[in-house]
Amino acid sequence: FPEMLSNPKLALVQGPLNVVMKQNVTLSCLSEPGSPPVRYTLFKHNQQVSALNRSDLTPALFTLTISSASDTGEYKCKAEYNNSSGGKYSNSLNFTFIEPISKPVLSSPTSQAKEGQNVTLSCFSENGSLPITYQFFKGRQSISPQKTMQKREAAVIFLFMNSLSDFGTYKCKASNSFSNNTKYSNAFNFTLAEERSHSQPLIISLGLILLLLIIGFALAIPLFIIPLYKASE
């Protein structure tokens, strides 16, 4: 009589659980104890993917190619004897599809500011698997804690331009679970806005008054001065 099968163990022997497009992974399924031959069937969400018969006590190896996001999800295997009903199911393994992030864009509503002004900076990577972690820098120095975004939205920080040292070049970086895929943004530069002199409006006003006086004097010559001069002759 064949030995009663135990629940098989499904294990990942090649490749990661976080997979990228067109990546190969290999799964092993083995029930021990058990008396060969044993039929092993691999399922994805209760749909059969592949089946193998083993005539010895070696595991069944299933090699998969993750060609799209639909190939990810939960996998299980089933061990059974060919001439018996039922069977035992394994633990599950879950594959997650990851996409490398694109270069983030660093932006702000304004590039000029005054001392004592509040400004905002936003960093956004349009493509890449969530969550995405952002961090902001001025030069090479980090100026904020990491911000992990669970949704496809920009990370935003608020800056107070307290002194001239707060002006200059800023950058941000973005990363996700895709290994070795940190991307840095474009550089964004804040410059000091030129303040208009308080005396400038006064000078303009005095200049207009002087111009009006000159025009008034020019108009007064033919109307008043010339007739008075002729009357005195």
Separation of first and last alpha carbons in the chain? 150
Domain boundaries defined on the chain: 9-97, 105-192
pLDDT at 198: 52
CB 134 within 8 A of CB 104: yes
Degrees, nearest 5: CA angle 125-123-130: 40
On the question of a common fold for 9-97 and 105-192, the answer reads yes
In the chain, the percentage of residues whose pLDDT exceeds 70 is 89
Which of 134, 138, 156, 160 minimizes the C-alpha distance to 147? 134
The per-residue pLDDT of the chain, averaged, comes to: 88
Task: Give the CA dihedral 10, 12, 14, 19, nearest 10 degrees.
Answer: 120
Residues 71-94: tens digit of each pLDDT: 999 999 999 987 677 789 999 999
pTM of the prediction?
0.59
pLDDT interval class at 231 (50, 70, 90)? low
pLDDT at 107: 96
- Amino acid type, 168: G
Residues 117-156: tens digit of each pLDDT: 999 999 999 999 899 999 999 999 999 999 999 999 999 9
What's the topology of domain 9-97?
A: Immunoglobulin-like (2.60.40)
CATH match for 105-192 among 3.40.30.10, 3.30.70.2740, 1.10.1040.10, 2.60.40.10:
2.60.40.10
